[in-house]
Structure 1
Amino acid sequence: MQEDFLHYIWKYKKFQFNNLKTTQGELIQINSVGHPNQNSGPDFFNAQIKINDQLWAGNVEVHIKSSDWFLHNHETDKAYDNVILHVVWEDDTEIFRKDNTVIPTLELKGLVKNDVLNNYGRLFSKQNKWINCENDFAKVENFILSNWLERLYLERLERKSKEIDQLLLQSKNDWESVLFKMLVKNFGLNVNGESFLSVAQSIDFSIIRKVQSHQPTLEALLFGQAGLLNEDIEATYFLSLKKEYHFLKQKFTLKNHGIIPLKFFRLRPLNFPTIRLSQIASLYHKQQGLFSKIIETQALDDFYELFNVATSEYWKNHYTFQKESKPSTKCLTKPFIDLLLINTILPVKFAYSKQKGGNTENIIIDISNAIKSEKNSIVSTFNSLKQVSKTALQSQALIQLKSQYCNNNKCLQCAVGNTILNK
């Protein structure tokens, strides 16, 4: 038995509430169970309960046992002076207010329906399961799942917006700078994401603004800060970048201490840091004022056009400085742009709109529903239980569901868990 389950039982009245009596024998009529309190203090605020002929308005506290009142030291906390009812699973001792009057107690044991208890037992059984509800997940109605996943997606955007707020604080409210850092990080993907972020954070965005009109200069800046120009290589383009970076380093007093080393090992050549950094340089050279364009853009195809960039000429027949390769135009692919939209662009649009008091939720939902579902172990496992993820909104929502609810046993706060308990 968990206290969260008792909160659920009380909140949704999952017990026999006709002819209720306190453990002291007083008649109880519940007019309102109150509002759940997410902060410190009693569990439910502003309840309205009639005890015998007296209507009380105040707070309700919920415990497994009555004696938990003393275990949690509520008798010394003024916040609990206005508790009008103590709701417990088992009443094992009387609880008194400071003036020595007894706090009425409702014992739920024996009042809760067997089907609710059985469903709860099945949901939280100790079997070795990937998620608690995996045996019942497929039976949940599509309508319930669809609404829940949309809400979870917005929750995930809210969570990401807090990370963006931190970057915004560090960047002195410069949205262009925040976008640059997040984009650069996501160009590095999982393998080089933190390394790329360390490069972006080592460059004040005012420098990007000054040099982005000349693509080779911007490329030299990024390559140099990333430590890719430290070797002795005789290639003409390498030497020109190295010379340009030496000038930039002195002009802007650049430092690249603390840059996380880049990785090439086990990466597909198109994901090599050299290729991705050149594409970033091309993007910021071609799309000056990128942040404003992102905020104005509202359709998926327009985003594909906005991010339709390739590497500079040198990288058409190179993946590294040391070796020439078969010529190919190395553009940003649609699946890669989808990742940028999911992890950077849409969260930034959401956070910006939220700060400015706008409402772009419907636009963001439409775009995320137009993007194909991500492919990862979480999404694949959910799809093996029930084919539920076809769009990026759904795959992001499932990641939120698994990481924030399933992994933390928050089934009672989950629409899926509630559906199973209510069967």
Structure 2
Amino acid sequence: MRLNEDFLHYIWQYRLLTRLDLYCTDGAKLEIIDTGSPNTHAGPDFSSARLRIAGTLWAGNVEIHVKASEWLLHHHQQDRLYDTVILHVVYEDDAVICRTDGSLIPVLLLKDLIPDDMLQRYRSLLDGRSFFPCAGQISQADPAIIRKVLDTMAAERLAEKSAELEVLMVKNKYNWNETFHQLLIRNFGFKVNTIPFELLAAELPATLLGRHRNQALQIEALLFGQAGFLEGDFVDSYPRQLQAEYVFLRKKYQLVPLDPSLWKFLRMHPQNFPVLRIAQLAGMLTGNTPAIPDILAAGKLPSLISLFTPVSVHPYWKDHSHFDKICKPMELRLGRKSVDILIINVVCVILYHYGGYFGIPEIRQRSVSFLKSIPAEDNGVVRKYKAAGLKLKSASDSQAILQLHKNYCATKKCLNCAVGIDIVTKRDSI
């Protein structure tokens, strides 16, 4: 396994070396006064370090590589920004490195300075073939550390989603209702059909659908027609009614339907087919459509659940999996898990962003409280972590796991995670 540079950064930052009497490769005595601050921007890895080399005090930057030759691979020898480097920290010293003026840069070789047990534990994480690096050890990790990580990741995920929502807000010129409308419809795709639902929302804005909110047939015609599902000849009277209605509305609003091939049906239960999701969405958008004021007024979770449980889904879908295709009778209303997903990905994100935008911390806190009131999600990623022994109490925890996996575990950034640090540095782990 090729050693990860993140590990060397961690070793340097926290001075986790086997001895204090250090020497550069040229024999000069090295005293670390301050390792410097990690640099997240362009330039050397650590800035404002203070070192004493051969009795002389130096202030400047530190660059870290697994192999010294990586300096050349990254073309630092041509960048005057790296002339400020006062120490090159490497695991293997396989090249002579100079500044642009030809002066040699002192080198600290880490190969024999890293505790063997720590290196072994870190390698076991990176070499593991489990779904996530610490799957075999996380059940023995300190529960207090796990809780801290979950809370941190949940907050990070909300902040990340809020930043993404801000992009949509700017696009919509800060029209909160339109932004909510688009976010709601997009999430009716429940991940598998997110993109076509997003395209559907873009073509059918809130103002357009709002003109027909009291005419269920027209709402259904607009949604099914724009989705591309009303092309061709039908036997049943219901799709023929929708088709006739859509012909009129399409001409009125100059609409161009989506390509129906965008929608995914494969390996799905009819209950999750996009046509039923569209029928459920139509039921939600008919009559008392959920809007920003409703969400702000909902102080308790049951109030939110009632907002996202449509009661006017057309009975045709009770025993049809598609137009002209009969199936076994099924439930028309959105299931509780589906409603929970909409609250997690729509309501909580909107509330968090709204509270931040208007400086109302109580509304932000309400989004966090809702997440903690909803049961943990059940999906492929969450199940893997549960199987490893992790106990997840709520949607806040399952959202935290999704964030942790995407940004840290999947990229093996174990030393950016308190659980990974605990496993690597704890003497009694493994």
Match runs of 1:193-204 below 5 Å? 193-204=194-205
Which deviates more, 311-320 or 188-197?
Answer: 311-320
Contact 1:214 1:285 (8 Å CA) reproduced: yes
Which residue in the other structure is 1:187 paired with? Answer: 188
Which residue in the other structure is 2:392 paired with? Answer: 389
Contact 2:181 2:201 (8 Å CA) reproduced: yes
Q: 1:157 to 1:259 in 2, by over 3 A?
A: farther
Q: 1:324 to 1:84 in 2, by over 3 A?
A: closer
CA distance in 2, matches of 1:290, 1:395: 26
Which residue in the other structure is 1:216 paired with? Answer: 217
Tell me by how many angstroms 1:307 deviates: 1.8
CA distance in 1, matches of 2:47, 2:144: 32
**Unpaired stretches in structure 2, ≥5 consecutive residues:** none
Contact 1:194 1:260 (8 Å CA) reproduced: no
Which residue in the other structure is 2:281 paired with? Answer: 280
Could you say what secondary structure the match of 1:420 adopts?
A: helix
Tell me by how many angstroms 1:80 deviates: 1.0
CA distance in 2, matches of 1:410, 1:394: 20
Q: 1:46 to 1:287 in 2, by over 3 A?
A: farther
> Among 412, 415, 418, which residue is 1:415 paired with?
418
CA distance in 1, matches of 2:187, 2:396: 18
Q: 1:64 to 1:346 in 2, by over 3 A?
A: same
Letter aligned with residue 382 of structure 1: Y
Q: 1:219 to 1:104 in 2, by over 3 A?
A: same
Letter aligned with residue 10 of structure 1: W
Contact 1:198 1:260 (8 Å CA) reproduced: no
Letter aligned with residue 366 of structure 2: I
Match runs of 1:101-112 below 5 Å? 101-112=103-114
Letter aligned with residue 6 of structure 2: D
Match runs of 1:18-417 below 5 Å? 18-125=20-127, 128-233=129-234, 235=236, 237-262=238-263, 267-288=268-289, 290-312=291-313, 314-315=315-316, 319=320, 322=324, 330-356=332-358, 359=361, 360-417=363-420
Tell me by how many angstroms 1:182 deviates: 2.8
CA distance in 2, matches of 1:253, 1:29: 74
Contact 1:199 1:225 (8 Å CA) reproduced: yes
Deviations 1:182-241 (A, max 9, x none): 322322334443333332222233212322243332222112212333344465544443
CA distance in 1, matches of 2:381, 2:16: 32
Tell me by how many angstroms 1:268 deviates: 3.9
Tell me by how many angstroms 1:252 deviates: 1.4
- The root-mean-square deviation of aligned C-alpha atoms, in Å, is 3.0
Contact 1:164 1:351 (8 Å CA) reproduced: yes
CA distance in 2, matches of 1:165, 1:63: 37
State the identity as a percent.
35
Could you say what secondary structure the match of 1:367 adopts?
A: helix
Tell me by how many angstroms 1:29 deviates: 2.8
Could you say what secondary structure the match of 1:366 adopts?
A: helix
Could you say what secondary structure the match of 1:408 adopts?
A: coil
CA distance in 1, matches of 2:268, 2:68: 59
Could you say what secondary structure the match of 1:256 adopts?
A: coil
Could you say what secondary structure the match of 1:379 adopts?
A: helix
Letter aligned with residue 199 of structure 1: L
Letter aligned with residue 26 of structure 1: A
CA distance in 1, matches of 2:302, 2:31: 59
CA distance in 1, matches of 2:328, 2:387: 41
Letter aligned with residue 65 of structure 1: K
TM-score (norm: length of structure 1) = 0.87
CA distance in 2, matches of 1:18, 1:265: 62
CA distance in 2, matches of 1:321, 1:135: 49
Which deviates more, 163-172 or 29-38?
Answer: 163-172
Paired residue total: 422
CA distance in 2, matches of 1:236, 1:282: 19
Deviations 1:345-375 (A, max 9, x none): 3233334444555545533332112111122
CA distance in 1, matches of 2:253, 2:63: 61
Tell me by how many angstroms 1:278 deviates: 3.0
Contact 1:199 1:259 (8 Å CA) reproduced: no
Contact 1:198 1:259 (8 Å CA) reproduced: no
